[in-house]
Amino acid sequence: MALNLDLVGKEWEGGGRRWTSADAILYALGVGAGAEDPLTELPFTTENSHDVAQQVLPTFAVMIGGTGGSMPPLGDFHLAQVLHAEQSITLHGALPPEGSTVTRSRVAAFYDKGPNAIAVLESTVMDADSGKVLAESSTGTFIRGEGGFGGERGSTAPWERPEREPDHVVTYRTRPDQALLYRLSGDRNPLHSDPWLAGKAGFDRPILHGLCTFGFTGRALLHTACGSDPELFGTMSARFASPVFPGQELAVALWDDGETWRFQTTVAGRVVLDRGTFSRRNG
């Protein structure tokens, strides 16, 4: 059996990640901060600008969890079979410019999608010194060719694209070398840099990290829904619908539903990040 189905419900704790202010800045650059105008996002791209305190993009939470090498293997499938399917994060306040974490994680489920499977990993990210919860995350991993094991298909939360025009549309153009820059924040999956592996996965060339698109979209939510204040950033959830190639332009459509927002990210009209929901943090 390729999937380690016995992992469902098992929990483990492990070291997360130690990061510096330079790591937070590198991540911000990796998701496009300051690319179009270097003066517009200085709190996230510099640490020593006059009268500007450094801040951290909330979606950096996806990089500071980790499993400290303690995570058991989900199975013995090839890396080329794996794609990021969905991601959600919940912030408990603004992230510090430097720090270290520990994590508590579990495999929540393996879902049987016919010929394919989805593994869902949930994590709580805590400050290593104080034990304070910084963030929570849920990651869905799509594994090609590993379904058919007789498990549940899983349920899907209701979501519809609003019939009205978006309240806001934010566009960001990615750089041709965006994946090479983003990978320096820690995701070294060669699918995003190695043409050979990209070809094995069925792509003409390396694709952009799904979490890089997630980070670009998170910037749009931060600046539009939160007035650029990371303290107000609450829960962001989305499904990865189709690949993005470095150099393409992202269009983030945002609908303000009052207490929550819905969003979709597209490339030339093709949905790449779907079923997006966002809520601001209450104090």
pLDDT value of residue 70: 63
Nearest residue to 277 (alpha-carbon basis) of 138, 82, 94:
138
Task: Give the mean model confidence (pLDDT) for residues 17-32.
Answer: 97
Nearest residue to 62 (alpha-carbon basis) of 216, 201, 250:
216
The percent of residues above 90 in pLDDT, for the chain, comes to 76
User: What is the set of active-site residues?
Assistant: 187, 192
CATH number of the domain that 163 lies in? 3.10.129.10
pLDDT tens, position by position, 211-236: 999 999 999 999 999 999 999 999 99
**Global confidence as pTM:** 0.93
pLDDT value of residue 29: 98
Poorest-pLDDT segment among 80-84, 152-156, 263-267: 80-84
- Range(s) of the domain holding residue 253: 5-280
Task: Give the mean model confidence (pLDDT) for residues 12-32.
Answer: 94
Q: Domain count of the chain? A: 1
CB atoms inside a 10 Å sphere around CB 75: 18
- Please state, in angstroms and rounded to a whole number, the distance separating the CA atoms of residues 64 and 186: 9
Provide CB contacts within 8 A for 200, sequence distance 6+. 80
Share the mean pLDDT of the chain.
93
The percent of residues above 70 in pLDDT, for the chain, comes to 98
pLDDT value of residue 69: 53
- Please state, in angstroms and rounded to a whole number, the distance separating the CA atoms of residues 104 and 14: 7
5: pLDDT strictly greater than 60: yes
pLDDT tens, position by position, 174-198: 999 999 999 999 999 898 999 999 9
